[in-house]
C-alpha cells in the first residue's frame, strides 16, 4: 500500500506542530512559515496556515454526530489502544469517546474522534480484522 497525502487548514502553526509531534508522535518533514509536513503513521499530512478555518457540520452515524470533515489513520488495535491512552494522559477532550462502533455487524471497529488545536476533526480507528474495513451488510 502506498502512503496518502492530505493537506489541511490550521490557524496556528506552533500549536499544530506541538500537538502533532508531542501528542500524536508525528515526525517532522519539510516546513516553511506557511506550512509543515508531518509523518502520520507513514502518511504525509501537511498543515497549511490560513486566516480562519470553517468546519462543516456533522452526520448522524451509529448514534453519534460525526464531523462531516475529518481524517485519521486505521491503526492496528494495539496502536489504537496506545494512542487512546496517550490522548487520555494528555487530557485531550474527545468529541466522540473511544468506543466500538457497529458491534457485531459488518465493519465493527474501535473508533475515537478529537480535535487538533485548530479545530480539525481527527478519527483514529482499528479493526480486529482488516477484511472488515470495506465490509458491507450484503
Domain CATH for 21: 3.10.180.10
- Provide the domain count of the chain: 1
137 is a domain residue: no
Instruction: List beta partners, residue 126.
Output: 75, 110
And the C-alpha cell for 30?
Answer: 519539510
138 is a domain residue: no
| pLDDT of the chain, 138 residues: tens digit per residue | 888 999 999 999 999 999 999 999 999 999 999 999 999 999 999 999 988 766 557 778 888 888 878 999 999 999 999 999 999 999 999 999 999 999 988 889 999 999 999 999 999 999 988 888 888 866
Burial degree of 111 (CB within 10 A; 0-12, 13-18, 19+): buried
- Cα separation, 44 vs 35, in Å, equals 12
40 is a domain residue: yes
Look at phi and psi of residue 104 and say left if phi exceeds 0, alpha if psi is from -120 to 50, else beta.
left
Write out the residue range of the structural domain in which residue 32 sits.
Answer: 5-50+57-132
Amino acid at each position: 500500500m502506498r502512503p496518502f497525502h492530505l493537506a489541511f487548514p490550521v490557524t496556528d502553526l506552533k500549536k499544530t506542530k506541538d500537538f502533532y509531534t508531542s501528542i500524536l508522535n508525528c515526525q517532522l518533514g519539510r516546513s516553511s512559515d506557511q506550512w509543515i509536513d508531518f509523518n502520520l503513521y507513514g502518511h504525509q499530512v501537511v498543515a497549511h496556515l490560513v486566516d480562519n478555518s470553517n468546519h462543516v457540520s456533522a452526520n448522524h452515524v451509529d448514534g453519534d454526530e460525526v464531523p462531516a470533515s475529518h481524517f485519521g489513520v486505521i491503526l492496528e488495535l494495539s496502536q489504537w489502544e496506545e494512542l487512546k491512552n496517550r490522548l487520555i494522559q494528555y487530557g485531550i477532550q474527545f468529541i466522540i469517546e473511544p468506543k466500538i462502533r457497529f458491534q457485531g455487524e459488518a465493519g465493527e471497529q474501535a473508533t475515537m474522534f478529537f480535535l487538533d488545536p485548530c479545530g480539525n476533526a481527527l478519527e483514529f480507528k482499528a479493526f480486529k480484522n482488516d477484511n472488515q474495513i470495506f465490509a458491507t451488510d450484503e
